[in-house]
Structures are given as C-alpha cells and as structure tokens.
Amino acid sequence: MKAAVQSFIRDGGSFEDLALELHRWQRSNNPQYDRFCGDAIASDWMSIPAVPTALFRDLSLTCFDPDQASVVFQTSGTTTGKRGQVRLQDVDVYRLASRTHAERCLGSLPPHGVSFVPTGADSSLGHMCADFVPGMPNFFDSETGVDATGGWDAIRRLAAEGKPLFVPGTAFAMADLLDAEQPAVEVPVGSIAMVTGGFKGRRRSVPSAVLHQRLADRLVGARIVGEYGMSELASQLWSVPVSAPFVPPHWMRVLAVDPWSGEPADRGLLRFFDLANHQTVLAIETADVGTVHADGSVTLEGRLEGSIPRGCSLTVEEANA
C-alpha cells in the first residue's frame, strides 16, 4: 500500500478507489481499527468509519506491530490530560506528503528560517518544519517559552544577508514574539511567515485578524500563511493568504458532519480522509467545527463547545503560563 499511496501523492488517480482499497487493507492489518468498524461496510469514501482523535490516547491503531515504530508523535493536550500517541514505522510518506502539498501551495520553500515551534522528537509540527528547512535555529523551548530577543536578532541578521526566510510559529508563540519591543524588519522577497494553531481560550486570546496584521507589520514583505494539521494526520492544509479557506491536498477529502447524527452537513464536525495515513487509520474525526466549501476547501470555526482544548499552541501556552 505504501507504494500505491506514494504514487497517488505524486501523480493522482481515483481517490475513491484507493480510499476503499486502503480501508480494506487497514481493516485486515489494524485489528483495533477492524474492531472499531464492526459490521460497517463502506460503499464510498464518505462511509468509511472515522476514528475520533480521542481514541489515540488509549489505542495504538497501527497497521504494524507497534513495537516496530521508529517515530512516535504525541498529540498536544492540556497539562493534566492524557496525550495520545501516533506511531509510525517510517516517515517516508509523511515527508513526501507534507513537502509536496506545501510546495504546491507556497511555491519553493525558503532555504533559511527562524523557528518558533516545538522541536521535540515527539512533535509532528517540529518534525515538518525541520524537514522543510534543515538546521533552522529555533527560539522556542518547552520549559522557558519564546526567546523573543534571540528570535528577532536571528531574523534581523538573516534578513540583512538578503536570505528569504521561513518563519513558522504557533499563534501563541507569534503573539509572544510580537509582544517584544523590537522594531519591524523588512525581509527579503520570498519570505514566508507560517501561523498554526489557535489560542484555545486559555491564558490569553488575540483575534486572528489582529495577530496576522501585527505579524505583517513587523515582518515587512513576508507572505503570511496559515497551516492546519495535527499529529493524527500525515497531511496538512494551507491557507494562502492567511485569511483564505484552508486547502487540502488532492489525496485528502474533508467532510463536515452533524455532531449528533453523524450525517453530512454544511457545517459541523470535521472528518478528514487522508490517504497518507496509510500506516494508521485513513479516516479521522476531530472535535473541530467548520464549513467545507464546494471546492473542498475548509473554513475553520473553532472547536465543539465543551470539548477538551488541544492543539500545538497549548505546548507554547503551558510554557508561558
């Protein structure tokens, strides 16, 4: 299945045919998912049973012996809440999927950057950003939070050298970075600032439009873009520019469902059908609420009321609490 998924990512094909084939293969190779599906029979991609993200806290949900995992990504969560784990035998498809879609949405990625995302081995976000720009200096630490002074110094130095920059950060980290009393920096043409995650209504909250404008005002000339992803998904969605709906890759479909009936709806809980999830489960149900447009793009509206806060920004938030 790995080769079939890689071929689809590169060249496309029939999403439904491969989704159903992958679903059958996952039921045969992922006993926990097979038990979850029970008597359900999928007749099209929308009827493939979707696993709630919360189950990754208690189940391995792998299509291989979990002891053979070479990478374990931990889902973000609250300080006291149990975090889920996503085990991968290798990251070949993950790397191919993340870079392929990023480059299709953003163009060539800058070869230099300054990072404000978690960099632990268990962070899928950190893994993606480090793969985009190997050796990129990082100015976020899970214990001490954002090093705003060091970050701005690095941005200013690289910008002065005429190097287009990739500057990724969670919304929380970007807010802390912008709070520092530092002058604006004019960055070279081709620079990209990536914002991911939200504030989750915890320690503080800055309206998205305000945060994005402040970032544009301080990183003069940079394209401000949004990224949406999670440890349970091997693929990401991009918002270019940051105010636009999020665009999934061609190997992913997104479905909004009524939170009570599970039936398709114009607006509802978001289910993601990601072929790049070939090692785990291709169909994932989140607690995120949004609208899926006719072209497949997605407008996010936050989380279902009463759901447990989660997401990469919590990692930053807890360090700065």
Question: Looking at residue 302, what is its pLDDT?
Answer: 79
Q: Where would I find the H helices in 54-186?
A: 92-106, 124-132, 148-160, 171-179
Question: Looking at residue 147, what is its pLDDT?
Answer: 95
What percent of the chain stands above pLDDT 70?
Answer: 90
Question: Looking at residue 309, what is its pLDDT?
Answer: 39
Question: Looking at residue 306, what is its pLDDT?
Answer: 54
Contact 86, 281 (CB under 8 A): no
Domains defined along the chain, listed by start: 2-68+245-303 (no CATH), 93-238+308-320 (3.40.50)
Of 33-42, 59-68, 136-145, least confident by mean pLDDT is: 136-145
Question: Looking at residue 81, what is its pLDDT?
Answer: 63
Beta strand pairing call for 283-292 and 267-274? antiparallel
- Cα–Cα nearest to 302, from 216, 207, 177, 237: 207
Rg of the chain in Å (alpha carbons) = 19
Question: Looking at residue 310, what is its pLDDT?
Answer: 39
Question: Looking at residue 311, what is its pLDDT?
Answer: 40
Which sign, positive or negative, has the C-alpha torsion 306, 311, 313, 318? Answer: positive
Question: Looking at residue 285, what is its pLDDT?
Answer: 95
Q: Which two tokens stand for residue 15?
A: 């999403």
Rounded Cα–Cα distance for residues 314 and 77 (Å): 6
Average pLDDT over residues 53-71: 94
* Between 105 and 121, the higher pLDDT residue: 105
Asked if the model's pLDDT at residue 80 lies above 70, the reply is: no
* Between 84 and 165, the higher pLDDT residue: 165
Rounded Cα–Cα distance for residues 222 and 144 (Å): 27
pLDDT digits (tens, 9 = 90+) for 133-161: 999 999 998 778 899 999 999 999 999 99
Rounded Cα–Cα distance for residues 102 and 91 (Å): 16
pLDDT digits (tens, 9 = 90+) for 26-35: 999 999 999 9
Average pLDDT, the chain: 90
Question: Looking at residue 294, what is its pLDDT?
Answer: 95
Q: Is the peptide bond before 241 cis (omega within 30 degrees of 0)?
A: yes
* CA-to-CA dists, residue 266 to 48, 56, 236, 237, 258, angstroms: 19, 27, 22, 19, 9
Which pLDDT band, with edges at 50, 70 and 90, does 38 fall under?
A: very high
Asked if the model's pLDDT at residue 316 lies above 60, the reply is: no
Q: Which residues pair with 291 in a beta bridge?
A: 267, 299
Question: Looking at residue 31, what is its pLDDT?
Answer: 96
Which pLDDT band, with edges at 50, 70 and 90, does 83 fall under?
A: confident
